[in-house]
Structure 1
């Protein structure tokens, strides 16, 4: 007989959420949902400038850990996982919601991007997820779930998405390989692909408002996704009832990705 409580709650679970920048962040929508379903949530922030926006959010969900994580500063990623291990000794959920590309490379053609810009984008947007999986693996003693955030521009050419398209394609492929490698330890891996959202990261994409209008007009739902829509869906995937779902890129976009 199915234990219905296991399908609706994350009570007792420990989650690490990275990439919260402000109250419009997808990562914040996920952190709120994890907390609402009963999980304890550790939160990271980029730097001291970002901390003033993130700290009130962490306090709102009574986060027991608020830590800096600038992936361009050696050791900060590892220090966050060390703090989690010291505090909890275990981990059930990791959410990677970090992406970056130098503006000049992002706004130009893919064929014109610099080697340095491409490597930075790959390291911070893709390799960092692989590194988080490596650090999380020994802490997920009873299995767990790893999430990363991607976008439709990984599969189709989206105007002005440019270099992030190939980078996100690599991220989605990495999620599949991680799912295969970590599956025997009951660790699931998901690439989550929300529809266009007004976030700080999206502000770096040229003519983003046009992309929002197109998505709303073409999506079967005729509506844009919200950070709360994404958060609840992600939280459900972290529940025991979703234990046999892994390795896919899961779209939360009102069906926009199925339209031509």
Structure 2
């Protein structure tokens, strides 16, 4: 139905072949996009580089948003190599374990600030860096979770953090809409990813979500990627500011 041939996409957040970011990268590449892929650090590189190479990524770089200068280096390379960017996929989040596993009201100021910086503010920084590379418009995507709007047991501090991310999506969409830059959050139900493994009792949440969802099975990274690719396409040019549930209908149930 649509093509991303010749479009340039940066995908941040691949940790392994089970990552949501990897599902997005696969789908973008399948529709013809050229890819830039990042990994967190040297330890992650040995897992991510082979995946990026298999996808034919033209740019491969480290990116730890907490390390000064790395984000600027990535966008500098994109500017030098491509001169533009059409799609940004931000699929990173972090919270210190001690804060994540405790009550929200007990989380430390330092832990909360770190979670907000990595999970939310880094997306805004990336959008700001992408803006001059999108003179003809583009699409910026991040990843949320329904724990942003409802209390999910054991999701704890990440609930308020994802709520902030979704609000940031709406404000960024409003501010950049006149430039043709669209901003969205992808909100799959529970997925068995490396990041999710840090949440206590996550297997119980997976089972409950599968049971409650009207279609009785969980989303896959391929499902998320398909939505990401569509939102990045010209056919989705009139969509912006959305939080897109990709959860087999789980979010409509009580």
TM-score (norm 1): 0.97
**Distance across 2 between alignment mates of 1:109 and 1:68:** 33
Quote how far apart the aligned CAs of 1:41 are: 0.7
**Distance across 1 between alignment mates of 2:124 and 2:65:** 13
1:24 counterpart residue number: 18
1:51 counterpart residue number: 45
Secondary structure, aligned partner of 2:205: helix
RMSD: 0.6
TM-score (norm 2): 0.99
Quote how far apart the aligned CAs of 1:198 are: 0.6
Secondary structure, aligned partner of 1:173: helix
Structure 2 unmatched ranges of 5 or more: none
1:90 counterpart residue number: 84
Quote how far apart the aligned CAs of 1:8 are: 1.4
When the two structures are aligned, how many residues end up with a matched partner?
254
1:165 aligns with 2:159: yes
Q: What is the CA deviation profile of residues 140-195 of structure 1, one whole-angstrom value per residue up to 9, with x for unaligned ones?
A: 01100000000000000000000000000000000000000000000000011011
Quote how far apart the aligned CAs of 1:46 are: 0.2
1:70 aligns with 2:60: no
1:118 aligns with 2:112: yes
Secondary structure, aligned partner of 1:124: helix
Q: What is the CA deviation profile of residues 36-65 of structure 1, one whole-angstrom value per residue up to 9, with x for unaligned ones?
A: 000001000000000000011001111011
1:33 aligns with 2:27: yes
1:176 counterpart residue number: 170
**Match of residue 6, structure 2, among 3, 7, 12:** 12
Secondary structure, aligned partner of 1:111: helix
Quote how far apart the aligned CAs of 1:206 are: 0.2
Q: What is the CA deviation profile of residues 6-60 of structure 1, one whole-angstrom value per residue up to 9, with x for unaligned ones?
A: x411011000000000000000000000000000010000000000000110011
Quote how far apart the aligned CAs of 1:199 are: 0.5
1:224 aligns with 2:218: yes
